[in-house]
Amino acid sequence: MKNSLNLGRQPIMNRKDEILGYEFFYRDHEGKCSIDDPRHATSSVLVNLLNQIGTPSSFGDALAFINTDGPLLLTDIIRTLPKEKFIFELSSSIRHTVQVHEAIRYYHSLGYRFALDNASFHPDYIEAFGPVFPYIEFAKFDVTQTDSEQFHYFPNPYGKMTLIAYKIEFYEMLEAYEQFGFDYFQGFYFAKSHLITQSRIDPKYIDVLSLFSLLQTESSVEDISNGFLRESALSMQLIQFLTSTHPEHIRGATSIKEMIERMGKNALSQWLLLIIYSKSGTMSSVDEVNQYSTFAQARVSSMLKLLHLASPNPSSKLIEDARLIALLSLLEDIMNIPLENTLHDINPSSDVKDALVNMSGLLGRIYAAALKLEIADVSTAALLLKTYGVHQEQLV
């Protein structure tokens, strides 16, 4: 289904079943692993993790191992991601250039961490990856493709790295590789790859491109935030991304505009570029109607309409509060994020909290009425707003 996302996940753990982290795998909307463009696959995994599912429910306090391609390393996108949460796996098929090697060295100097995926003792492999060995923390070996006798050879170029054996399917494999000095393991012996499925909320591709283009100009934060008003799906993804990566940017924020100001134009531009890359492999379907995006925009529009009926000429603060209430409520309804978690992370004003939790005050009544209108209960919606002079015929 185009309205759902899929993501593969498999734990990496030690002999005591203590989880080091999870490797995440690209899956298309049908749950299949069909990769034509590695950059698209990596970007899609990151967008699904950070913008939609969120880090607390996908890997919590563990590490996330993400397959990474060369071109993505040549952007500033990685700098928008929290270095303490991710291990970037370098594929054996990565194209080795001076620029890619320099990018790995640079990110390592900033505290970002790397792993070798499908490491090998083959001379060609060691020659290609040798220049970046000083910047690698983990080396992952496919036990079905590795000559285990080579671990007895010295000097071992992987001696300073933490070793991970994957495709462990039997106890005998585990025991053998533990004797070779491996600390962590991955494979069916411990757990099969698990498919995470969740509702997908997608902004329109053309709107993402337009906002990205706008950020390349001397546009004001006001102009940029106005672009988000047209795309509630993008606003929801921004809230989830900042919750996952930079919670300090949303703590106490009263509007999307304030979140953008705290984030900064360069980081916002790189975040939009990540979304563009994630959609680049699905150009034929990027602007198909997404029912959850449509639903989200409808709730925001409904609340703003009701606000203007109940309070003619509302203040800009009331408008922003109403929009924020709609967006935060949608995180629970569409992305399955408990409201109490959202309120803890963002800590909005007491008016917003009371509206969401108790449906009290003007904004709470408007929120309650909007929910009733979604199920076509016009009479109850009118009753909720009667005190504010709103009549049933105005809601039809």
Give domain 4-198's CATH architecture.
Alpha-Beta Barrel (3.20)
What is d(CA 81, CA 70) in angstroms, rounded to the nearest whole number?
17
Q: Are residues 221 and 260 in contact, defined by beta-carbon separation less than 8 angstroms? A: yes
Residue predicted with more confidence, 93 or 273: 273
Find out whether the peptide bond into 312 is cis, omega within 30 degrees of 0. no
| pLDDT attached to residue 35 | 58
Name the band, by pLDDT with cuts 50, 70 and 90, for residue 150: confident
| pLDDT attached to residue 148 | 74
∠ CA 25-182-85 to the nearest 5 degrees?
45
Residues 75-128 pLDDT 10s: 889 998 989 999 999 998 888 899 999 999 999 999 999 999 999 988 899 999
**pLDDT at residue 25 greater than cutoff 50:** yes
Q: Are residues 64 and 81 in contact, defined by beta-carbon separation less than 8 angstroms? A: no
From the DSSP assignment, how many helices (H) and strands (E) are in the chain? 17, 9
Dihedral over Cα of 130, 134, 135, 136: its sign: positive
Mean pLDDT along residues 347-375: 95
∠ CA 209-99-218 to the nearest 5 degrees?
35
Dihedral over Cα of 47, 50, 54, 55: its sign: positive
Q: Are residues 184 and 12 in contact, defined by beta-carbon separation less than 8 angstroms? A: yes
Mean pLDDT along residues 293-299: 91
| pLDDT attached to residue 1 | 45
Mean pLDDT along residues 343-351: 93
**pLDDT at residue 31 greater than cutoff 80:** no
Mean pLDDT along residues 346-353: 94
**pLDDT at residue 284 greater than cutoff 60:** no
Name the band, by pLDDT with cuts 50, 70 and 90, for residue 34: low
Question: Buried b / exposed e across 301-338, counting CB within 10 Å, b at 16+?
Answer: ebbbbbbebbbeebeeebbbbbbbbbbbbbbebbbebe
Q: Which residue has the tokens 């989830």?
A: 240
Name the band, by pLDDT with cuts 50, 70 and 90, for residue 283: very low
Q: Are residues 331 and 240 in contact, defined by beta-carbon separation less than 8 angstroms? A: yes
Q: Where are the domains of the chain?
A: 4-198, 205-394
Name the band, by pLDDT with cuts 50, 70 and 90, for residue 361: very high
pLDDT-above-70 percentage for the chain:
94
What is d(CA 201, CA 332) in angstroms, rounded to the nearest whole number?
13
Nearest to 233 by CA among 303, 370, 334, 352: 334
**pLDDT at residue 209 greater than cutoff 70:** yes
